[in-house]
Structure 1
């Protein structure tokens, strides 16, 4: 077996001087980076205005017909359930036990920067041809409100062309599979050239097998520059729009143990503006308290390293009704919930 010594110098990490000094981006040049706090507004932002306080929140209750249809739908979805109680049972009374879900959404924009490289494919170097815009000055295309989205942008006037540090501008690297030889040990004869006292028919007695990874060249295109020999280095800006959503479901006393966070409710109220004011005058004080707590927490938490673009709060009614009915002289109590006007 022959020992192969590569004539290629080992690949290196990007040198510190590979990236230039760009005003406004000193944090990533010192090894920092990460999320950048938004700049302070030029003018003070007006405080959030109080939201509406409707006199009638229009809280509906489940009718007898709705209860019966919900019961039928539930029975038909179960295996081996008889339809008699649902069809023939006599509803004696209904007891509403409604509960509510409060939802707060805070739509934010966050920005972070980092140095990036790509194979140079003829792009012009614009480094220092003009002053690079600061991270929050770069134009980005936002999505629709309350929609998660990510956009990566090459910051203008930060691009320069450098020799590839991995292959030292050769465009190639030794094949790792054959260690740059172009051939591997024959797997049939284990490199001996013979098998059963005869020449190995697979390698014709050479003991070598062509390397399929590099097509016997011994080298492959450099993974870093893709054979281009040079890299375009630039500052990459990552813009993230995130809809930060949080729910609060009021505890209810109907005895129902289902997960109400996933249930569809009836929308009673919704409003949206730049910064929200907590709800005032809602009949259930727990909802008002949840609104006060979440609005305060969101505005404090998300304004640190992101820009709040819009907030939206919603109150939904989750109708829960206890239905008492008689069937074959026996009095039966059935607890259930209505989901989008159906279901038990």
Structure 2
């Protein structure tokens, strides 16, 4: 075999790993967990059941919704680390609308999303106006809104019939129709709608294409007449919007607002969005890739729990999966540059 043929074969293998490595990993995990959780008594896998598949989809729904928000920020080559704090603030605020103020569902949801857009306003001012690096700006906003959530809730959980700081009992209840949004099939339907919206927005509208252009080369985009600042601001507004929707869904699923519950979704969402870069060799933030990344992480957690792997070891495995996904992503970029 000549040197040229070896190089070509190496590139073909690299292209295959880049495009299909994440999907192959999911299939390998699926097979591993299917047979790793095989029951001799029933002659079937406890992992491969309809109820467990629904459990996985339900578990990844909120992560996917929040991660989709981050996908928009990544599309313009940004980074929104405030998504977890935004989801937490939305979780707390929507519950107080019900429990403290007895406001109806429609007004509570709309008001929560609008209030949470203040996160996008601050991010946009810091990043676009003052030119602070995205990650540093969003990190400061994350700490700020973690404090806002704690202060607003008086440092405690928001529950029905709770005793407020002034000693009175909260008058409102969480509507059953709102609780239904946090259960299947509605939570899964909301997730699917969010993914489809992001996919069509980023791939089939000029605004999505402009966001990718800004993320790819902001100087060239500016010279092409694309308002770079406008699309960066749009990305952070979309990020805050979907993070707040994720927080609202979390409130509907749990029925309470627990301290820092939304913050726990930050790293899984970041992991899902970055894994999405390598799905089918996209090499950029994309909706279906983010969904696949969330499913991969959810399947990983579900399968490891069923195999009785200690919870404190799971982050090691999730971190390793993220490292592999990032390696495939950057290997893709290296291969393209070499060509």
More strand by share: 1
- The structure that has the greater radius of gyration is 1
Give yes or no for TM over 0.5: no
The interval holding the TM-score normalised by the smaller chain is under 0.3
Using structure 2 for the length normalisation, give the TM-score.
Answer: 0.19
What's the TM-score, normalizing by structure 1? 0.19
